[in-house]
């Protein structure tokens, strides 16, 4: 089980914030490791906490400032409102469709199709003449935040990628690449906490008594790898587009479909 914990931790940390789908990679990795069922699903949900901790640590000054200034600062309140507004669409649809998603879409074939569809959307967006209007997450409008939140609904299809959906949504709403990426990180915090909490409530009973140690190992590994991935991605998007991730998704998705045929 230590190998399962280690590999899932690395996969979660490496893919949570890259636009290649952490959930999709966890499903594929679990399938290769013959780790299936509700126990595997609960495990995959829990270790996302390590990636969220990485965001909180990387942006600890920003979140601390937000918490301290929220009661009296109109700017802090506006940012919190935009974050909450972006959170609502996927949270509402995810709550209503949780059972359908869990039962119908958590399969390697579905993930492969989502990887391919997401890759095509990335390539399409990179060809569009998008106009940048906003260069900071503090300068976002509530309409832009809502647009990013609507885009995040695409990530309810496992394999599409929450990161890809929100970054593309931000670019489509006029954010520059760094701001779109940073807002994707910030939005991950309430989104994944809510999704993980709800998923654990429904699936915690499927975990075994000895799983606490393995969950701890996987979560710590996830945290360390995710922190490194966040820093790398911010540097990368400053000077590169997302097409390399689209090509990777196309190759992986096609390989999975061929393997399953």
pLDDT tens by residue, 206-257: 677 777 788 888 889 999 999 999 999 988 987 899 999 999 999 999 999 9
- Is residue 47 within a helix (H) or strand (E), and if so which, with residue range? none
**CA 174 to CA 131: how far, in whole Å?**
6
pLDDT < 50 positions in the chain: none
Q: What is the pLDDT of residue 86?
A: 97
Instruction: Say if CB 166 and CB 151 are below 8 A apart.
Output: yes
Q: What is the pLDDT of residue 90?
A: 93
Q: What is the pLDDT of residue 251?
A: 96
Q: What is the pLDDT of residue 204?
A: 67
Instruction: Say if CB 156 and CB 53 are below 8 A apart.
Output: no
In the DSSP assignment, the letter for residue 155 is G
Backbone angles phi, psi at 168, to 5 degrees: -65, -40
Report the Cα 214 to chain-centroid distance in Å. 22
Q: What is the pLDDT of residue 214?
A: 80
Q: What is the pLDDT of residue 258?
A: 94
Q: What is the pLDDT of residue 73?
A: 92
Instruction: Say if CB 160 and CB 117 are below 8 A apart.
Output: yes
């Amino acid at each position: 089980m230590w190998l399962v914990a280690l590999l899932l931790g690395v996969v979660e940390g490496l893919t949570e914030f890259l636009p290649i789908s952490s959930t999709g990679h966890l499903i594929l990795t679990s399938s290769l490791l013959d780790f299936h069922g509700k126990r595997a699903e609960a495990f995959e949900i829990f270790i996302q906490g390590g990636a969220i901790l990485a965001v909180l640590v990387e942006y600890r000054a920003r979140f601390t400032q937000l918490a301290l200034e929220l009661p009296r600062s109109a700017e802090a309140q506006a940012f919190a409102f935009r974050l909450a507004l972006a959170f609502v669409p996927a949270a509402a649809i995810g709550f209503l469709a949780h059972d359908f998603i869990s039962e119908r879409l958590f399969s390697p074939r579905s993930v492969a199709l989502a990887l391919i569809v997401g890759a095509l959307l990335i390539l399409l967006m990179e060809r569009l003449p998008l106009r940048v209007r906003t260069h900071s997450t503090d300068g976002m409008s509530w309409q832009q935040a809502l647009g990013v939140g609507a885009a995040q609904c695409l990530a309810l299809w496992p394999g599409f990628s929450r990161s890809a959906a929100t970054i593309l949504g931000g670019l489509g709403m006029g954010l520059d690449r760094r701001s779109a990426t940073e807002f994707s990180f910030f939005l991950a915090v309430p989104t994944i906490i809510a999704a993980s909490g709800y998923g654990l409530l429904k699936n915690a009973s499927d975990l075994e008594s000895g799983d606490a140690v393995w969950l701890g190992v996987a979560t710590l590994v996830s945290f360390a790898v995710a922190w490194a991935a966040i820093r790398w991605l911010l540097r990368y998007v400053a000077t590169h587009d997302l097409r390399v991730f689209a090509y990777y998704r196309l190759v992986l998705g096609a390989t999975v479909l061929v393997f399953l045929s």
